[in-house]
Amino acid sequence: MNPVDNKVSHLNIGTVVSVRGSVVDIRFDVHLPPIYSLLQAGNGKILIEVLSQLNRRRVRGIALTATEGLGRGMRVEDTGGSLKAPVGKGCLSRMFDVFGNVLDRQAPLTDVEWRSVHRSPPPLIRRSTTSEVFRTGIKIIDVLAPLERGGKAGLFGGAGVGKTVLLTEMIHNMIGHHEGVSLFCGIGERCREGEELYREMKDAGVLKNMVMIFGQMNEPPGSRFRVGHVALTMAEYFRDDLHRDVLLLIDNIFRFIQAGSEVSGLMGQMPSRLGYQPTMGTELSQLEERIANTDAGAITSIQAVYVPADDFTDPAAVHTFSHLSASLVLSRKQASEGLYPAIDPLQSSSKMATPGIVGEYHYALSQEIRRTLAQYAQLKDIIAMLGLEQLSQEDRKIVARARRLERFLTQSFFTTEQFTGQKGRLVTVEDALDGCERILADEFNDYPESAFYMIGTIDEVTRDRKSQAQSSVKGLQKRANKTHTEGENVTAQTYAS
C-alpha cells in the first residue's frame, strides 16, 4: 500500500506552475506546505517532495517519480505529511522500494505502521559513551581491523573480489549468533545486483531476519537520495522499539552523495569544489549521525565506498572518511591467490585497534602480525628475482611465519558451503589470537603451509595431523594383515599340492 493513499488531501490544493525535468514549481493560494512535505499529482502516481519555498504562494519540489504526464495547470494535493516508511515485524524477509512498496511479489504488507523518514539523530544523553567491539566471527577482521558496535565501517572493493560474499557472511553471523536484524540498502543499485543478492540471501537461509531496500540506478535522483533515510527509519524501529542490534549494509554511499549532487544541480544551487553540492557535508552528516549506539541498542553500519579515480582527496571521500571508524580494503591480488576473505591486512585499519579498547595483549599481537606481513611484502621482490635460497636464515623464518599467517587468516564461510563443500566456521577472537601467537612463536614449523588454509581454530592443524597419522597406521595394519593372509593361503596351497 502506498503511504499517501489513505491521507485526507482535499484540505490544501495547489496548481503546477512549471515543470523542468524533475523540478516542479507549484502555487498554493490557501496554505504553503512546509519543507519536506510530500505532494501528489496525477491521481497519486506522481510524488513530489518540497525542498524550498520561493515566496508566500510558491514552493519548489523535486519529483520522486517520473514526471511523464505532468503539465502546467494540473492539480496537486498536499498529503499533509512527509515521505513515510513502513516499520514493524512485518517488514522482515521483504524487499521494498523508497515508497514502501513491496518488490518481492509476495503477499501484501501487513502488521506495520508508517513513520516519517525525516528524523533527528539520537540526542547525546541517549548515546553510549563506551567503545565496544562488534565481533563478526571472521578472524582477519576481529584481529586486525575490529569493527565498532554502533560504528561505521567502510568496505573498499571492486567486482569479483568477494564483497557480496563477505557482506552475506556478516549478515549470517549477525542473525544466527548475535540475534540481531540485518538491513541491506541499495543506493543506485543495478536491478541485476538486487535480484542476485535477494536470491543468494534466500538460498543461504538468512532472509527471515533481514530487510532489503532498493533505490535502483534508473530511478530519479530524488528517489535515490531518500532511500538511505528509508532504510535508517526501519533500522531505528528495530533498535529503539524492539531493542535489537541492527547491522545496516549500504551499497554504495558514494551514490547517495551523487544523487544529492544531482538534486542540488536541478534545484539551481551554486556548486562547490569539483561540482559537488555546497550542502554535501550537512546531508551526509544527517544520514550518518543517525547510525549510533544508544541505551536501547546499536546500529552498526558497513558501507561500500567508491573513491572517484582513486583520489582519496576527493571531497566525497574526505567527507565519508570523517565518519568511518574502520576501513576494510579488499585486494584483487589476495583474491587471485585464493586467500579469502580477500582483505588486505596492511591497508585495512580500525580506530578500535588501540590498547585501551582491545587490550594490551591484542594490540601488541596485531602489531607483530602487521610487522611480519610487512617484512614479507618487502622480501617478495628479492624472492621473485633471486629465489628463497638467497635469503638469510632469519628472513626465511619471517617468510615462513607470514605465509602461515596468511593462510591461517583465511576462513570458510557458512554462506558458501553449498558451493565449496567446506563447512563454515565461526571463530572467537580469543582462538584467532591464540593461533596467530603460536604461529609467530614457530610452534608449527614442521607443518606444511597447506595445513593452515581455510581452517577455523589452530587446533584443527594438530587434529588433522593426528587423524591422518591414525589413518596411515590403520592403512599399514590393513595392508600387513592382507599380506599375512595371502601368505598363509599360498603356504596352504603349497602343502595341498
Catalytic site residue from 45, 127, 190, 423: 190
Within 8 A by CB and 6+ apart from 333, the residues are 344
Q: Whole-angstrom Cα distance, residue 59 to residue 52?
A: 6
Q: Whole-angstrom Cα distance, residue 449 to residue 406?
A: 9
Instruction: Classify strands 133-134 and 299-304 as parallel, antiparallel or unpaired.
Output: unpaired
Task: Report the candidate in 297, 200, 295, 296 with the shortest Cα–Cα distance to residue 248.
Answer: 297
Active site residue 370: no
Indicate the SS3 state at residue 22.
coil
Active site residue 478: no
Q: Whole-angstrom Cα distance, residue 451 to residue 447?
A: 7
202-232 b/e (C-beta count within 10 Å ≥ 16 → b): eebebbebbbbbbbbeebbbbbbbbbbbbbb
Quick one: cell of 45? 502516481
Cβ(210)–Cβ(173) under 8 Å?
Answer: no
**Rounded alpha-carbon distances, angstroms, from residue 121 to 83, 85, 126, 284:** 17, 17, 10, 12
What are residue 294's phi and psi, to 5 degrees?
Answer: -120, -175
Looking up cell 581452517 gives: 455
DSSP result, 202-239: HHHT-GGGEEEEEEETTS-HHHHHHHHHHHHHHHHHHH
Catalytic site residue from 77, 148, 169, 189: 189
Catalytic site residue from 115, 163, 255, 404: 163
First to last CA, the chain: 94
Within 8 A by CB and 6+ apart from 379, the residues are 391, 395, 398, 399
Name beta bridge partners: 14: 28, 76
Active site residue 163: yes
- Cis peptide leading into 341, omega within 30 of 0? yes
- Which residues carry out catalysis? 163, 189-190
